[in-house]
Copies of this chain bind each other. A is one copy, B any other.
Amino acid sequence: MIRAAVYSYGNIGHAVLEALLASPDFEVAGVVSGSLEPGALGDIPVVRDIDALSNVDVAILCAPSRAVPDIAAQLLAKGICTVDSYDIHTTVYEVHERLDKIAKENGTAAVMSAGWDPGTDSMVRALLEAMAPKGITYTDFGPGMSMGHTVAVKAIDGVKNALSMTIPLGTGIHRRMVYIELEDGYDFEKVASAIKNDAYFVHDETHVIKVDSVDALKDMGHGVHLVRKGVSGNTHSQRIGFTMEINNPALTGQILVSAARAVKKQAPGCYTMIELPPMDLLYGEKEDLIRRLV
């Protein structure tokens, strides 16, 4: 049994706990949370500091991405393996190098950026290039909530509550559908214009819609369509696609748990999902997996 701790308990932490409880090879060591009451999860220990939990093999980090690298560095130095869904694409490599060094110094391992994008989508993008090295891959997201865009809208003056939906238009182009509740005393047209001129939205087709209740619109479903048209050898127009319609936190939580299984099988170091053999993500004996999946 792998003893796993859930580190931080929001939407993703909750989904990770569900996936751990559904996995036959995991034991929940406890949940590390700054806000949850100690008895809130019944028999599952809730602690403020991971040192209060015993024999943790792997910590699954469910804190916001910005906080992840420092938490991972601390835990790896304590001898605890880590798994995270760090999703700031532009700095993935720098974080990878930092955690790789700490993990190797401490004989531990980390899997980073283990969600669906980055994560399993990254693995699929790698596969598509192995199958057709020349060509273009498009990643079309949605329809679904964008957390980053929603946070950006909420920061704008006059916005009481907001939801930004990502709508795929194909070839990696997206429309933003922004639903807002307006603060009293603000002019809708001015607020809408501020949103459309924000750095998050200025390059995309953006529609702003005033609603009475943002909460009434919320749905955790999301989707993606990865598509590549490329060249195998010198044969053109090879067409390959990957599509999902999924519950976003549930899928992210499950992939984190599958990655927590894989991290225990790796040599010391830090790994993104494209550096992991797919078999390592699965529960079961090698012989059975090869007979069943190959």
Within the assembled complex, what's the spacing in Å between the Cα atoms of A258 and B283? 27
Q: Which residues of B contact A120 (CB under 8 A)?
A: 127, 130-131
A1 within 8 A of B: no
A144 within 8 A of B: no
| Nearest-Cβ distance from residue A131 to partner chain B, whole angstroms | 6
* Given A133-B23, A238-B251, A243-B243, CB of A293 within 8 Å of CB of B126: yes
Per-residue 0/1 for A103-123: is the Cβ within 8 Å of any B Cβ (1 yes, 0 no)?
000000000010010101011
Q: Which residues of B contact A22 (CB under 8 A)?
A: 133-134, 231, 233-234
| Nearest-Cβ distance from residue A169 to partner chain B, whole angstroms | 20
Q: Which residues of B contact A133 (CB under 8 A)?
A: 22-23, 254, 258, 282-283
Per-residue 0/1 for A241-276: is the Cβ within 8 Å of any B Cβ (1 yes, 0 no)?
111111100110111011000000000000011111
A289 within 8 A of B: yes
A27 within 8 A of B: no
Contact A251 B293 (CB under 8 A): no
Interface size class of A (residues with CB under 8 A): 35 or more
Main secondary structure, interface of A, reads helix
A239 within 8 A of B: yes
Q: How many copies of this protein are present in the complex?
A: 2
Q: Which residues of B contact A235 (CB under 8 A)?
A: 15, 18, 247, 250-251
Which residues of A, 29-46, contact B by the 8 Å Cβ criterion?
none
A59 within 8 A of B: no
Binds B, one of A71-79, A89-97, A151-159, A175-183: A89-97
Nearest residue in B to A292 (C-beta to C-beta)?
B125
Within the assembled complex, what's the spacing in Å between the Cα atoms of A274 and B277? 6
A232 within 8 A of B: yes
Q: Which residues of B contact A278 (CB under 8 A)?
A: 123, 126-127, 130, 274, 278
Contact B289 A279 (CB under 8 A): no
A residues neighboring B (CB under 8 Å)? 15-16, 18-19, 21-23, 89, 92-93, 96, 113, 116, 118, 120, 122-127, 129-134, 231-235, 238-247, 250-251, 253-255, 257-258, 272-279, 281-283, 287, 289-291, 293-294
The 8 A-B pairs of least Cβ separation, nearest first, read: A235-B250, A232-B254, A130-B281, A126-B278, A18-B233, A19-B233, A130-B258, A274-B279
